[in-house]
Structure 1
Amino acid sequence: MDMKTVREDARKKLKGFCRVCPVCDGRVCAGEVPGMGGLGTASSFRANIEALARVRLQMRTIHPVKEPKLSFSLWGRTLSMPILVAPMTGSTYNMGGAMTEEQFVAELAAGALQAGTIAMTGDGADPSMFGSGLAAGKANRASTIAIIKPRAQEVIVSYLRQAEEAGVLATGMDVDGAGLVTMAMKGQPVGPKTFEELREVIGATQLPFIVKGVMTVDEAEAAVRAGAAAIVVSNHGGRVLDSVPGAAEVLPAIADRVKGKAMVFADGGVRSGTDVLKLLALGADAVLIGRPMITAVYGGGRDGVALALNQLRNELLQAMLLTGTADVGQVARSILAP
């Protein structure tokens, strides 16, 4: 199996919901929500790509770094790389339905484990989607992270109990899902949370809690004050609000303010190991990757996911060697060109 074959097979199975473009930048699928595109003009999707493209690395080859450290410790688990699979749902209405929701999330989770890392699992317009994610991790305890939509408080607490019972490594909420079109279409109410409501749900579990969808310094600080163990700097792949900056644009200021108080993850527009290193240099502790994993799982199942993740890891290793970066846990912002 190689990535060319994976991409060709994925293009057939995704049935036009994703064209598996040579450059995944949101132009062809603009406005296709449900589907794989960004909301409206897809400017927020493209902003993720463009923000990362503007970041440049300084190449250095006269240094002692010969075997960079890529392993990453996360709440007691040692991962092979600081790259996790982002939470994704909607195989039937976003991706054409060639895989059931259960198959989709199970193969993503298994492929991540095969590559030595883990997947976040999501919540969606069909309530059974959250359960599918929990089932994907039950065979290997602490092998997935369950992310919940900003539903009613009592529903979130119920989902937290299910996540605890399933033995997930951590849980959390993608607060940026507050206005998701697909949730509204399917009669699943979601909405913004007050600081007090956020603190209440975080306090309802002993699991590490992640607040996903943070794009401003003040909300990052609020999430940390509410008790979050981690935040994810993310604009939800450009799928919830048009005209939002790319994650790489806002990440440095957020990381400067809260890193060390909580873990800082980032996602949006990651297409290579070089992109991963850029986000680490901008302040992320780890990076989530979404759409490329859909191509990988539809084109090659768990083996395709592991292949794609290992390719990213190898690209990250190469970029570290060529920037003099010894450890993914200590990526200096000085490797970035001024």
Structure 2
Amino acid sequence: MDINSIKTAARKKFAGVCRVCPICNGVACAGEVPGMGGLGSGSAFYHNIQALADCRLNLRTVHSVKKTDLTCRVLGLDLAMPVIGAAIGGIALNMNGAVTEEEYAKAIVNGCRKAGSIGMTGDGPQPVVFDSGMAAIAKEQGWGIPVIKPRDPEKIVELAKQAAAAGCPAFGMDIDAAALVNMTNAGQPVGPKTIEELEFIKNHTTIPFIVKGIMTPDDAEACWQAGVDAIVVSNHGGRALDHTPGTAEVLPYIVEAVKGKMTVLVDGGIRSGADVLKMLALGADAVLLGRTLAIAAVGGGAEGVELVLNQYKAELSAAMLLTGTDQVSDVPVEILW
């Protein structure tokens, strides 16, 4: 198995819902929601890619760094690299049945663990989405992080308690899914959350609480005020609101507001180990991979996920060596041009 065979297999299984383009930038699939595209014009998806492209690395080779250390500790978890599998729920429902929910969740959770990382699982209008994720995590003795839609706070607490009972080290809520019509149409309304509602969720759960979908410093500060343990700077892969900036554009401002107070994760357009390094230089503690690992999981299962993550690991190490960076826990912004 190699990258090309994974992409070929994924392209066939997706049957057009994802073209597995040579450059995954959201141009060909703009407006294709459900699917892999960005909402509306697709500009929010594209802005994620462009924002990272606009960040350039300073090549430095006259320095004392001979080895790189990619290990890190995120939310109390020891990881082989600062790269986490993002939650994507409804892969069977929205992606032409490319794989089942069970197969997808198992591939992400098991593949991430084999690579020394951790995978997140998703939620959706049908119980099979959340339940498949929990089943995959149970098979890995709790090594996974379920992410819950922004449902009624009491329901979030109920599902978070299931996660805690299964041994999960944390749970998340993708608040950027606050306007998902398919959830409301299924009788499971979702919506934005007040600081008080976030506090309620935090105060009634026992494991770290991650809020994904933060794009402004004031929302980040609100999460901190509510006691949230970590945020993910994310625009839902460009699938929540059209015309938003790229995550790499807003990340430094959010980091300035809450760095040191809480863990800051980020996703959006990360296509290589060099992109990971850019996000770390902009202040993130770790990154999440979504579409890239979705293609790996559909095209190669757990083995494909592990292979892609190991490729990112090698690319990140090389980029660190060529910028004079020895540890992922201390990436100076000065490596950016």
TM-score of the alignment, normalized to the shorter chain, above 0.5 = yes
Spell out the pairing of 1:74-153 with structure 2 (5 A cutoff): 74-153=74-153
Corresponding residue for residue 204 of structure 2: 204
CA contact (8 A) 1:195 1:222 kept: yes
CA distance in 1, matches of 2:212, 2:223: 10
CA contact (8 A) 2:88 2:121 kept: yes
Q: How big is each residue's C-alpha offset from its partner over 1:194-235, in whole Å with a ceiling of 9 and x where there is no partner?
A: 110111111111101101100000110110110111110000
CA contact (8 A) 2:234 2:267 kept: yes
CA contact (8 A) 1:35 1:93 kept: no
Corresponding residue for residue 52 of structure 1: 52
CA contact (8 A) 1:33 1:181 kept: no
What's the offset of the Cα at 1:127? 2.4
Q: Secondary structure at the match of 1:179?
A: coil
What's the offset of the Cα at 1:185? 4.4
What's the offset of the Cα at 1:181? 3.6
CA distance in 2, matches of 1:200, 1:319: 42
CA contact (8 A) 1:150 1:177 kept: yes
Deviating more after overlay: 107-116 vs 92-101 = 92-101
Q: Secondary structure at the match of 2:178?
A: helix
**1:182 matched to 2:182:** yes
CA distance in 2, matches of 1:72, 1:152: 34
Q: Secondary structure at the match of 2:139?
A: coil
Corresponding residue for residue 323 of structure 1: 323
Corresponding residue for residue 283 of structure 1: 283
Q: Secondary structure at the match of 2:213?
A: strand
What's the offset of the Cα at 1:139? 2.4
- Which runs of at least 4 in structure 1 moved beyond 3 Å after TM superposition? 184-187
What's the offset of the Cα at 1:96? 1.6
Corresponding residue for residue 166 of structure 1: 166
Q: How big is each residue's C-alpha offset from its partner over 1:49-80, in whole Å with a ceiling of 9 and x where there is no partner?
A: 01001000101001111111101112333111
Deviating more after overlay: 91-100 vs 42-51 = 91-100
Q: Secondary structure at the match of 1:138?
A: helix
Structure 1 residue runs of 5 or longer lacking an equivalent are: none
CA distance in 2, matches of 1:287, 1:305: 15
* Percent identity between the two aligned chains: 55
Q: Secondary structure at the match of 1:213?
A: strand
What's the offset of the Cα at 1:98? 2.8
Name the count of aligned residue pairs. 337
CA distance in 2, matches of 1:169, 1:95: 29
TM-score by length of 1: 0.97
Q: Secondary structure at the match of 1:24?
A: coil
RMSD: 1.1
CA distance in 1, matches of 2:87, 2:116: 17
**1:62 matched to 2:62:** yes
